[in-house]
Chain A
Amino acid sequence: MNAQFKKGVLELSVLTLIGRKDYYGYELVEEISKVLEISEGTLYPILRRLTEEKYFETYLQESSEGPPRKYYRITKLGKEFQKEQFKQWVEFNQQIEKLIGRDII
């Protein structure tokens, strides 16, 4: 997929996935890079900023296999932000669709 497209949707993807369930960093990176081929290390800066902006909160949880995991959980503020971003994404898609249509040339 075009690199420019990926970059535009990364933040929304992170917000949406964590909105569905809590993830720890490695798991989330793995999930996203199944679909989007990205430089995985750059997901952590996004996670950190969204946490600093109070869209996520983190907690540690012991696991049976290996070390404790740092989980990310969406906050109420984060849910609102996700909805807003999603709305903008849908509007953007509709406008582009109007412009170029749905046909494959």
Chain B
Amino acid sequence: MTKQEFLKNLKEELEKNKVQNVQDILTDYEEHFVHGLSKGKTEVEICEGLGFPSVIAKAYQTESLISEIKNPEKGFNLSLAVTVIGRLLVIAPFNFLILFIPGVVIFALLASGWAVSVAIGSASLALLSMLPFLGTVSAGAWAWVTGLSTSFGLLGLAILGGMVMFVITKYIVLAIISYLQWNLKFILQK
């Protein structure tokens, strides 16, 4: 490969992988070529040293996903986290084996936790919607008050449950990401 071919391929691969700052990145490699040439290397030798543009572009994409997800200023972004996990699983399929069984168990626990809080929430809303009918029954004032407080109590419980589940889900996802980041270093480049 010549310098021009390398840079052209790299540009295409970077764009294909939706990497940011393509021009900046290409400048780094142009500089690398200039220094290599001035030390008496040929363009072909420099290309061989650098490796495949496709591998390099993948490395940029993964590194930028990692730094984005590590950035505390941006807060927690679930869809980004899912993207990162998906990508890392594709890079290292053996992660499926390690994560599969614990993954199924954790996912089942998370799903049932969410289901319980949603169920409590809908029960409280159902009760709330029945209140007007209770009120019309004679001597129903106490029933009305009891119904109202029960339904608000349940609603509070549901909201609390939802919040707890959100936090738990967030930390589990973050833990999975930390694990994947750790083994990323072992799988990134050839």
Contacts and interface: CB of A to CB of B under 8 A. Distances in A.
Interface of A: 3-4, 7-8, 10-11, 24-27, 29, 33, 38-42, 44-49, 52-53, 65-67, 69-70
Nearest to B68: A52
Chain A contact residues, majority secondary structure = helix
Given A29-B32, A66-B35, A42 B55 contact: yes
A7 B185 contact: yes
Interface of B: 25, 28-29, 31-32, 34-36, 38, 49-53, 55-56, 59-60, 62-64, 66-67, 70, 185-190
Given A33-B49, A66-B38, 14 more contacts: A7-B187, A10-B185, A25-B28, A25-B32, A38-B189, A39-B50, A40-B50, A41-B50, A42-B188, A46-B63, A48-B63, A52-B67, A67-B31, A69-B35
A72 to B, nearest CB: 11
B115 to A, nearest CB: 39
B67 A39 contact: no
Contacts of A39: 50-52, 55-56, 189-190
